[in-house]
Structure 1
Amino acid sequence: MGLNYSLGITFINEKDADVCSKEFFNQKIVLPDGNLAELFSYVSEHADNQKMQEKLYVLSVSINGLGNVDIDLRLFETSNFYAIRDFFYQYLRDLKKDFEFAHFELEAADYLMCAEEMTEDIAFLVKNLSVADEGAQKITGINPSEFLSKRYIDGIIIPFKNYRKLKNAQSEFQIFKPNYYWLPLKEFKFSK
């Protein structure tokens, strides 16, 4: 196992998670440089389902080479990285199925699979800046001074029912699509 960037989407409905996973099967993203980024996906039960009132299922979508196993550094170049991220955001905008949380970040799917009370986590993480993305440094070997500061939780998307629970952090969020809010990205750029 390694560290990988992933899109994680949390669902209450396992069938919805499975349908979405199949949509990513053999999917490729055409990058600005003309190369292709290959995706793979799977669905897991939330780690704490036995304790939770409402069972959750997490779809994990990863990109071959966007991690520290068989790393492909061209995927970390600004234009390619942003194309991958934008592909996922467009998918989420177009998604007609209800979801609880969605996030694209280093180990995002694993994080969503293990976080028991996400709204509390979000409220905590909104207050905490990263000086640099240490995870990305571990993956790429690039000096952390080449990354702009950002918060790990930036970019997360939540439905209105979860947004209402974030009393102290609501002002940070913007409308993403009807009934969904997102925490805008504090840009994550490479110096190239």
Structure 2
Amino acid sequence: MARPLQFERQKAIDAAMGVFWEQGYSASSLQQLLDAMQINRGSLYAAFSDKAGLFKEVIDNYQSRIQSIVIRLLSNELDPAKGIKDVFELTLLALTKDSLALGCLLVNTVNELSPIDSEIASHAANKLDVVEQAFIAACERAQTLKQMTKEITPESAGKMLMTSMIGLRVQSRRGVETSDLRQSIMPLLNMLMPTLDKR
């Protein structure tokens, strides 16, 4: 009979996320992960198979807990323009300086691992695709409610917003100040949704 795993799985995943998020996948050693998770090597292998398996679960957990906030904001049925703005306000511009410095775990992963581990990079990229589709759907609703210009298709607008979000997360990791991040995104939001600056 297999021995039960003697650790709290969610707590261990959260600890591993902190290590991966701060240092990246490649720079996070197995021993650093074990120390942070407070488990032994056998428990890690039994629960996650290996470092890559652990990281994929960390990515899944990141999406379900952190990116779910983005999806919820973009699902604003009554005021999709506000939902789009709130994504940038509450998940980027309202973050602490320390959180901003970490960037987005998914964006970091794609940037780091695309040249060296396409499988894990694709796993992270697929999570970003979910957010892009949510942006596109929000743009479709905003156009229907005449909140967004019709000079650009919802698909193009959604992709543009997603590209901007990724760019801002990269810039935040570089240490760019929040005020500068705001100046970077607000002109685009006001161009796409002219009524925003009148609220």
TM-score using structure 1 length = 0.35
Larger radius of gyration: 2
Higher relative contact order (CA 8 A, sep 6+): 1
